[in-house]
Every structure is written in structure tokens, then in C-alpha cells.
Structure 1
Amino acid sequence: MRFNLPFRKAQPATTTNHEGAAAFALTPALELYAAVATAALCEQYYESAETRLVRLRELVAQCDPQFVARLAVYARERMYLRSVPLVLAVELARLHRGDNMVSRLVARIVQRPDEITELLAFYAQANQRAGIKTLNRLSKQLQKGLALSFNRFDGYQLAKYDRAGAVRLRDALFLVHPAAKSPEQQALFNQLVAGTLPTPYTWETELSALGQVPYATPAARAAAFRQKWTELISSGKLGYMALLRNLRNILEADVSAETMVEVCAALADRFAVARSKQLPFRFLAAYREVRALEGGHVSAVLAALEDAIAHSAANLRGFGPETRVVIACDVSGSMQQPVSSRSKVLLYDVGLVLGMLLQSRCQHVTAGMFGNTWKRLSLPRGPVLRNVDEFYRREGEVGYSTNGYLVLEDLRRRGEVVDKVLLFTDCQLWNSNFNGTSVAKEWAEYRRTVAPQARLYLFDLAGHGTTPVEVRAEHGVALIAGWSDKVFDVLAALENGGSALTEIDTIDL
């Protein structure tokens, strides 16, 4: 797929978006990719969780089974998503026959014991079964895949993830009937059935036990927790995600300066960041929690978080010192939507984080935000999280409409030649000024009159299935979807002449 193709007149819009504005439909494969990459399976501004789920199932039926399987693996292994790959596997089991692809897929994407029960719970829902007792006729391919998954887990993992729910692990064991690999594993299965698996050690259980101890004074309680946090950090028993999510607790426990040096070193460790597989916006959530605190170690932790997020994005090809880049972030009302029901992070935040990560990698960049108006902001290249907060502090200055066309109109009127324009948005753009123009019209005119070789990258953060401009190589337009730093791998694929689906096609089944 090449961008440098002969000029072709833009085609008229093929549909309308959720705002009623003219828009362009995506191919089923591209729409499924965008929906999966942005799926939290929770209520959204324009789409309910149930509506998104129905749309996912419909799209699976329209796509090649091999592509769906590769997409499920891509979502689990490269985008670190858990629930939506299980949805894809269950749908494939309903539609695909003739080989063992589904069983191999299930065994690959089920990487924790609780994903066995989550898959079965969705299977019951998708097939309109009322609970585990009605799952007496489980798909054979799902059954084989789940049996292989059971064989991979040890007693610690089974005990840690044996949680209450509509489907318990013992229920799944009876349903799947995995053949134990050894007498020792059969003993574990027997303990799971009897409910006698030893309580696993976790940092949560240690802290919980500490909380049950009666203390003579509040000071004694504080000292006990200070000591426990110090032990957990020094022993390395606290994983990266647990460390990231407990920074407030650690700081409020007032651990020693030496321990805080260990905390900051662990946070900023390049290899630990890579192994942790944290989505970039997790660092922003931690940053905001810490920034609200007082204390002598706060500034050091904030600096460590800046280092950590800087490690989360690899160097980008095609963004050298000579490349002129515009980064525009949508701050409209629909972007003020949490990424999940349990998160304080908004879609708007995700766009800003990814945008500022890109800015930190670019030498020649113009950044700004659009709502009712488009505003350029000059910010230093280095501090990603601090720049995100600066954008957040000023987002009300541009209003809350979705006039993304203003970004392109501004470039055209200035006669400013740029190489790449990157829009971070939910793609539900419309023109609140009703002056007859649009993103599609302004982009076509900008390429025709100012910069014929310019490229437009739509970073879709919501996956609603439509775009404000047609995604075609000959128009210089590409789509990238998701909240992970893996969007930069897609960006690299585009630089090499591929598409958003190129990375998925590399998955080996």
C-alpha cells in the first residue's frame, strides 16, 4: 500500500456518524480492528456496552476467520486486552468448523485462570444460557482449548484466581474435563473441587492480614504498615503494576528515603517498563494520584513516572528532524468519557498521552487542541505527563464542539506545508459553524493547493465504525486505533507502505 499515488478526486460520504454528520464507513475488517482496539465493553458516550457487543459479533461474521483469530491474538498479546479476545474466540467457535484453529486460539489467549471462567460466562450469555448448569453442550473446540489452558496453571495460579462469580473454576473443571498431566496435577484439581487449595501468598493477602491485627495506638498501626511496605518493596514481591497503583499508599506510609530511591529506580527501569505491558495512560493515572500529595519524595516520583512513560514508546521511523508534524487533540464533549467504568482516565486523556508521546519523539512539531475552535500550544518536548496536564488545564479555552476541519483550514490559509497531520479523536466530527465545509473537503483542498504529499493519520480512540474522511492510500489518509503504545507499531507499518491491518497479518497462528 503506497501513499504516493496519482491524485484521485474524493468520493462523497457514504453514511452519517453519531452526530448526524456526513461520514465514511470502514471495511468490515478495519471496523472490527477499530472496535476491538478500543473496546472496554462498557457504556460509552455514543454506544452502550450491549450495542458494541452486538456490533462486534456482527462484524466477526463478516470477516475471514483467519483474520479474526489473528486479531484476537494481536489484541491479547500486543495490546494487552483481556475480555474482547475471548468474545472473538467464542464467536469464532459458533461460526468456524473444519479444523482446530479455535481450540489453538483459546489455549493461546487464555493466559490466566479467571479468563477460563470469563470465557464461559460470555459463552452462556452469547448462547442465551442461564448459568453454568445450562452449559452441558459446550463447543468441542472451546472445550479442547480450555482443557489445554487448565493444564498450564499451577496451584498458586488456580488459588489466586478462584474467585466468586456466576462461573467458578470448579464449575469449569467439571465442564471441560481436562486430563491431568501428572498425579500432582490431579491432586491440584481435586483440591480445587474440594475448595482446599492453600491460600496463595500475595501482597494483598499480607496487607489484609496486617489490617486485622489490633494495635495499641494509631502510630503503632502506621509503623507496622510502613515496615510491611518496606519489606514488599525491598523483596521485589511487589510487581510493577502493583507498585504503580500503590504509589499513594507507599508515600502516605512515609517509608524511608532509601526505600523511595528503590521505588523510583524500579518505576524508571527501562526493562521493567517493557515487561510490565502497561498502557501509557496508566502512568498518567498514577501521576495525577501522586501530584495531589504533599511530601519531600513527590517530585522524585513524578520524575520517575516521566522517565517510565518515555520508555513506553520506541523510537519512531519516519519522524526525523526534517519531518514537519501537526498533532491535534480532540477535546470535545464526547471525548470526556472514561475509558472504563472503573477508571478516572478519559478518552481525551488517552489522546493527549499518545499525542504528547509522539511530540516527545518529533523534532519539528506543532501541537494543539480543537473543539469549537483550534488552538496551537507551544510546549517543551520532554515532559509527556506534565504537557498532558497543561493541555488538560486549558481545554476549556477551545470549547467542546468537534470542528476538526479547523486544523486543516488553518494550515491551508497559512499556506503551511507539513508532512503529517495526526488527529487524536473519536472520529465523530461535525461542523458546528454550518459553513459548508468539513474535514474531508478541507483535507482534499489542502493536498490539492498546498501539500500534495501530506498524510493524514486518524487515531481512532472510540471505534464507532465511521471516519470523517475516507481512509484510502491515494487520499493520503490512514486509520490507527487503540489506546496502547502499539499504535506506534502501526504507525511504523504505515511508514513502510503497509496499513493498520499489516501488523495483524504478521501474527503466526
Structure 2
Amino acid sequence: MRFNFNFRKTATSTTVNHEGAVAYTLTPQIELYAAVATAALSDQFYEKADTRLARLRELVAQNEPLFVAQLAVYARERLYLRSVPLVLAVELARLHRGDNLVSRLIARVVQRPDEITELLAFYAQANERNGRKLLNRLSKQLQKGLALSFNRFDGYQLAKYDRAGVVRLRDALFLVHPTAKDAAQQMLFDQLVRGELPTPYTWETELSAVGQREFATAEARAAAVAATWQELIGSGKLGYMALLRNLRNILEANVSEDAMEKVCATLADRFAVARSKQLPFRFLAAYREVSALPSGRVGRVLTALETAIGHAAQNLRGFGPETRVVVACDVSGSMQQPVSARSKVLLYDVGLVLGMLLQSRCQHVVAGMFGNTWKRISLPQGQVLRNVQEFYRREGEVGYSTNGYLVIKDLRQRREVVDKVMIFTDCQLWNSQNNGDTLAAEWRAYRRAVAPQARLYLFDLAGHGTTPLAVREADGVALIAGWSDKVFDVLAALENGGSALTEIEKITL
């Protein structure tokens, strides 16, 4: 599938954003990248989940198949997203023919057995099929890619992720018809079909077993729960994400001192953090959950969480003592929306976490937040999560509008020369004071009169498809999107003359 327009051309046409303010459109590549990097496929302040899904599908059709495949892999392997790469794969299967790109993509992005069933469920929805209709005309390349995925999973993984849903793993096995790589795997497939896979050893099954037992006293039950947690912690089979999400339960179970030491050591281990591929805001969620507890062990856990998230910023480059940086966080009303229906973390929190990660690595930095007003806030370095909480405590001090232009106006009026301005926002900026000032105008004036070499980086946390000023290298403006610490890899690429697409186009399939 080919399209006769220049993908490298920078879009500069104007439109209006969700607030009715003048905004700038993006190229199909950049718009798809931003939409994917910020997609939780749940309702947001300005856009419902089905609206975002429809826009993703339209954008896939406007882009080169290879770029869509590269972006899907980038989202899965670099941004740690699960559902949206599957959406891209299914859409590509609907539109692209003639080679094995789709099968290679699916074999790459499907990394857990439940992603096989999730992909098939979306395939049925996207192709308006249900029941027996799903069995008809399953894309051959899609089928081949899923078969390759099936061959990678062992019995533990199949049993762990064999869950109820629109499509079960057993159904998927019949649909895909994978050829077992050996007799042992054929036995696993047969067990899956019969529902006879051994119950996997997981923290859920172990705690569930305790919950089903009868105890003479509440104290005996509590002791059994503590012993189970201690065994799980000591076994090394409690995954990093499970550990992060169960810190409250572990503290309330009053596990042994030895177990607590292992918990904190694991949390703070840089290699464990890297392997876990946690989004930075997950550490904030754990920090908030734990900090409210009365336990005397809370301080140690909070310190371990600070160390853990600090590992995410270790590879940031280009911010030596001579680099002057401004970190501005949007705390407007539209940013106070959860990243997903099941999360307590807001877009606002994501912006603060990424902003404070950046602040922690800068030697010469001004940090602050904007709403109705712009306020600089001096905070110590090396305390990412604590600093986020301080911003959170003070966010009402600036109001809830989106007067982002005040960040640049303040620099211009002070005649303060900086190298980089980082704005963490949903890009839906508007001027509540109705005085005609805009971010675009202020940025032009600042570069013209004060700092011609300055660069502005918009960290788009929502992916609504527009920006408050044109994204053009000539104007020193760049767009970065996403919630992972990996967005800073894009920042490094920009520093080396690349673009937001450079990291994506490095992906090989």
C-alpha cells in the first residue's frame, strides 16, 4: 500500500483544539505516534475511548504499513504498552497484503498468552464478527503470527493466562492451529484443550488457598497470611509488578524483618527495575498507597521507591551543568483525568513524574506549574516522588486554566536566557484571560529578542492530534509523546539531529 504524499513534510495548517483555541495539525506519522504513545483506550476528558479507537484506525490507513508495524513494536517494547500494539496489528492485517509483515509483527508484539485472546477479540470486533463467524476467513498472516506466538509459551504461562473472556485460549488454539514444536508442547496443547493444565504457582493462587482454609482464630489466619507472603517473597517468584502493587498488603501482613529487607532490596535493585519495564507513574501510585500507612517500616519502603524511580533517569544525557532548563507542568482541569478507567493516576500525575525525573538530572533548572498563572517552585534534587507530592499539595495555587504562554512570557520579561523549555501537557492550551497572547507568539518573541538558540519541547500526554504551535525544526519546536521514561530516548535523538520518528524507524522486524 503506497501513498503519494511526503511523510517528512511538517504540517503547519491551523485548526482549533478542544477548547476552541487556535491549534496546529500534525503529519499523519506524528499524529499516529502521539495517539499511540498516549493510548490507554479509555475515556479521557476530551475524547471517548471509541472516538480514539476510530481515529487510530483512520490514521493507520493514512500511513505506510512498515511505519505502522515499527510503531507497534516501539509501543510494545519501548513504551511498555499492551493493547494499542494489538490494535495496530489487527488494523494492518485488514489493510495490508502481499508479504509477511503482519505475521512478523504479531509474533513480535504478542508477548503473553492473554494477548493472543485479546487480539482475536479485537479482530472479531474490528471485522464485525462474533461467535462462529470468527472462524471464517481469519487472516492467514494473522494466523501464522499467532501460531508462532503459541510456540513460545510454556505450560506455566498458558495456565496463568488461561482466563475467561470473549475468546478463551482453548478457542484460540482451535482458530490458529499451531503446530507443536515437539511432543512435550503437544501434550501441553492437549491439556489446554481438556482444561487440565496444572494450576500455576502464583501469588494469587497461594493467597487464595490460604483464604479458603478454616482457622480457629483471626490471629492464626493473620499468621498464615504473613507466612504465605514470606514464602512468596523468599521464593523469588513474586514478580516486580506484583511486589509493587502489593506493598500495602505486605506491610499490613507484618511480615518478618528478613522478608522486609528482601522487599526493599528488590524494589531498589536497578536490574530488577529495568527488567520489570514499569511505567514511572506506577512508582507514584505505590508511593501514595504506602505513605498513608501507620507502619514504622513505611520510611524504608518510600526510600526504596525513590531509589527505584531514580534508576529511570540515569541514562538521561545532554543536561550538564552548563545546560539551562525550564520544566513546566500543566495542572489544568483537563489534566486531572485518570490514565485509564481502573487507575487512580491522572495525566497530571504523569506530567509531574516525568517533569520531576527530568528535574532530578538537570544541574541548572527552573521547575514550576501553570494553570491560570505560572509559578516557579524550588525543590531539592534526587527526590522525584516526594517532589511530585509537593506539587500535588500546591497545585491549587495556580488555578486550573491552561495559560501555558505565561511560562515563556515570564522568561521574556525577565530576559532570562535558557537552552531548553520542557512543557508537560495535553496540548489543549487556551488563554483564559482573552488578551490575545498565545504560546506561539510568545515563543517567537522570546527567541527573537532573548534566546535565538532556545528549543521548546512539548511532551504530549494525551495525543489529541493538535499542538498549540507548529512543530518545526526551524522554530526550535519538537513534539515528544508518551508516559514511559523511554520518551527521554526521543529527547536524546532530537539532540542528535533526529526527530520523534527516529527512534521508531530504528526498529527492525
Give the TM-score taking structure 2 as reference length: 0.97
Amino acid at match of 1:431: N
Structure 2 SS opposite 1:470: coil
1:346-395 C-alpha deviation (Å, 9 max, x unpaired):
00000000000000000000000000000010110110000000000000
Quote how far apart the aligned CAs of 1:151 are. 1.1
The residue number in structure 2 matching 1:505 is 505
CA distance, structure 2, for counterparts of residue 132 and residue 148 of structure 1: 23
Task: List runs of 5+ in structure 1 lacking aligned partners.
Answer: 1-9
The residue number in structure 1 matching 2:4 is none
CA distance, structure 1, for counterparts of residue 12 and residue 182 of structure 2: 64
CA distance, structure 1, for counterparts of residue 454 and residue 497 of structure 2: 15
CA distance, structure 2, for counterparts of residue 408 and residue 317 of structure 1: 24
The residue number in structure 1 matching 2:365 is 365
Mapping of residues 308-327 of structure 1, within 5 Å: 308-327=308-327
Q: Greater shift after overlay, 57-66 or 152-161? A: 152-161
Quote how far apart the aligned CAs of 1:133 are. 4.3
Structure 1 SS opposite 2:474: helix
Mapping of residues 161-200 of structure 1, within 5 Å: 161-200=161-200
The residue number in structure 1 matching 2:457 is 457
The residue number in structure 2 matching 1:305 is 305
Whether the 8 Å CA contact 1:372–1:432 is kept in 2: the answer is yes
Mapping of residues 31-180 of structure 1, within 5 Å: 31-131=31-131, 133-180=133-180
CA distance, structure 1, for counterparts of residue 103 and residue 12 of structure 2: 43
Quote how far apart the aligned CAs of 1:267 are. 0.5
Alignment pair present for 1:15 and 2:25: no
Structure 1 SS opposite 2:471: coil
Give the TM-score taking structure 1 as reference length: 0.97
Amino acid at match of 1:474: A
Alignment identity in percent? 81
Amino acid at match of 2:370: F
Amino acid at match of 1:303: T
The residue number in structure 2 matching 1:351 is 351
Mapping of residues 97-496 of structure 1, within 5 Å: 97-131=97-131, 133-496=133-496
Whether the 8 Å CA contact 1:23–1:467 is kept in 2: the answer is yes
Quote how far apart the aligned CAs of 1:132 are. 5.4
Q: Across the two proteins, how many residue pairs are aligned to each other?
A: 500
Structure 1 SS opposite 2:424: strand
The residue number in structure 2 matching 1:6 is none
Q: CA RMSD in A?
A: 1.2
CA distance, structure 1, for counterparts of residue 13 and residue 27 of structure 2: 14
Whether the 8 Å CA contact 1:100–1:141 is kept in 2: the answer is yes
Quote how far apart the aligned CAs of 1:47 are. 0.4
1:241-299 C-alpha deviation (Å, 9 max, x unpaired):
11111100010011122221111111101111111100000000000000000121100
CA distance, structure 2, for counterparts of residue 262 and residue 158 of structure 1: 29
1:225-248 C-alpha deviation (Å, 9 max, x unpaired):
111111111221211111111100
CA distance, structure 2, for counterparts of residue 316 and residue 245 of structure 1: 27
CA distance, structure 2, for counterparts of residue 156 and residue 257 of structure 1: 31
Whether the 8 Å CA contact 1:13–1:22 is kept in 2: the answer is no
Whether the 8 Å CA contact 1:121–1:131 is kept in 2: the answer is no
**Larger RCO (CA within 8 A; separation ≥ 6):** 1
Structure 1 SS opposite 2:344: coil
Amino acid at match of 2:218: P
Whether the 8 Å CA contact 2:11–2:26 is kept in 1: the answer is no
Whether the 8 Å CA contact 1:143–1:176 is kept in 2: the answer is yes
Task: List runs of 5+ in structure 2 lacking aligned partners.
Answer: 1-9
Quote how far apart the aligned CAs of 1:12 are. 7.5
Quote how far apart the aligned CAs of 1:498 are. 0.5
Amino acid at match of 2:420: K
CA distance, structure 1, for counterparts of residue 132 and residue 294 of structure 2: 49
Quote how far apart the aligned CAs of 1:11 are. 10
1:39-90 C-alpha deviation (Å, 9 max, x unpaired):
0000110000000000000000101111000000101111111100011011
1:371-428 C-alpha deviation (Å, 9 max, x unpaired):
0000010110110000000000000010000000000011111111110000000000
Whether the 8 Å CA contact 1:354–1:485 is kept in 2: the answer is yes
1:331-356 C-alpha deviation (Å, 9 max, x unpaired):
00000000001110000000000000
Whether the 8 Å CA contact 2:15–2:24 is kept in 1: the answer is yes
The residue number in structure 2 matching 1:28 is 28
Whether the 8 Å CA contact 2:11–2:25 is kept in 1: the answer is no
Quote how far apart the aligned CAs of 1:190 are. 1.4
Amino acid at match of 2:47: E
Query: Structure 1's 19 and 32: CA in aligned 2 closer, same or farther, altered over 3 A?
Result: same
